[in-house]
A and B are shown apart, each in its own frame.
Chain A
């Protein structure tokens, strides 16, 4: 997997300074029945809670989540493209309690790693034997000067966490006049869903082609190229939307003026009618407060890749987007990491050795229109010598999009939701 040169120094410096923590003697459980607390009921957290209970009903599991419903980011670009109702992304949590999971609707405000306590906004103090943090990511909006003001004025949005911003973006695309310019500014990796911005350009083009054919999409990309599914996207754009999508690589957005609707990048200024800026991301503040956001740039969490336990705080595991790794930050990866962590936690709680060479899969589908899609599928195995997940032979990305991949992709979503939410 290519390493971005801007991150190379950081990661190698961090690797040099990362102290190898001696494994602390397995902490004694608080009670006869060990208690695992999981924070965040997304693709990582909900999966982890469910599989802990499925694989060891002797473990007590509490799942803390502030939102009443699950909202799926995968498929949310379909809403942006106007071929799916937002309601379809919203799923209920009602099946999880059937696995014996205690669901707590609350927001975690603090973690005491020493006393093994979680504090919530509702004033609860919940003791754990093992804690799993799966809080997703947060945006570094401060890296885009003027973003906060622009967002407040409703003139810019990331729409990269499915929710009201997804609908706001759709509304603005509908209101945009024919011949308008839609700007998508996306960050270089690592970040959530690296193919998401290209999928978004595709669905917007699909909509413009039918309703506003004179419009243009300008992608201001902080990355060096369309790396994720690049040949597939480029071929699809040429075939379906010739001349409509302009991709400008190496163009990280650093500022936005909502009065003139101008995005400032490292190298140019670009005016748009609808502006979507996806800022750089990092592990959420909660991870920092818990002491597990521990890489050199204070962005991501370093973990032991066989257990997903933090390298800095014992008994705290982290899964999904907040992790520093060469794995994509995708729904499938979060789901798979959660299963590896669940299995490892069970082994650790029983004083056994977790699987030293776990295997992880990642598949991701990107639509290119309302009936075509392309995918990537990879399998990675942990290499305990190099301490990194190594991509296994075979697999890879589609070179061209197709209608059958669209159907596969639709099934993929249904299966992911079913596996995660029960």
Chain B
């Protein structure tokens, strides 16, 4: 797990557009293996946080309804060029990953 995430934050006026692409299987726990017929165990992101310039701007609770390799885009007001953007996720198995970028 924990393949690198892609992240970019672009400033337009005082709004930073943060785009992030996470690598995750996002198994719901309900899908059945086509060959064995047994359910594939749940394995999905449960929490995602985003900070911009040290300020937390998002704290999201996710579940099995989010698709594989989630794509996240948020707009953050009051950002400045050079602000550090950090996006972190944690999954139901305790795995996590973090990506950083600076607003540009």
Chain A residues with a Cβ under 8 A of chain B: 5-6, 224, 250, 266-268
Contact = CB atoms under 8 A, between A and B. Distances in A.
19 contacts: A5-B67, A5-B71, A6-B71, A224-B69, A250-B6, A250-B21, A250-B69, A250-B71, A266-B6, A266-B8, A266-B19, A266-B21, A267-B6, A267-B7, A267-B8, A267-B19, A267-B21, A268-B6, A268-B8
Contacts of B67: 5
Interface string B70-97: 0100000000000000000000000000
Contacts of A268: 6, 8
Contacts of A6: 71
Contacts, number: 19
Contacts of A5: 67, 71
Interface of B: 6-8, 19, 21, 67, 69, 71
A6 B21 CA distance: 13
A224 B23 CA distance: 12
B67 to A, nearest CB: 5
A362 B84 CA distance: 49
A42 to B, nearest CB: 34
A36 B19 CA distance: 48
Nearest to A265: B8
A5 B67 CA distance: 8
Nearest to A254: B10
Given A5-B71, A250-B21, A266-B19, 12 more contacts: A5-B67, A6-B71, A224-B69, A250-B6, A250-B71, A266-B8, A266-B21, A267-B6, A267-B7, A267-B19, A268-B6, A268-B8
Nearest to B20: A267
Contacts of B19: 266-267
B86 to A, nearest CB: 16
Contacts of A250: 6, 21, 69, 71
Contacts of A224: 69
Contacts of B8: 266-268
A5 B22 CA distance: 14
Contacts of B71: 5-6, 250
A224 B19 CA distance: 15
Contacts of B6: 250, 266-268
B68 to A, nearest CB: 9
Nearest to B21: A250
A170 B69 CA distance: 36
A268 B8 CA distance: 7
Contacts of A267: 6-8, 19, 21
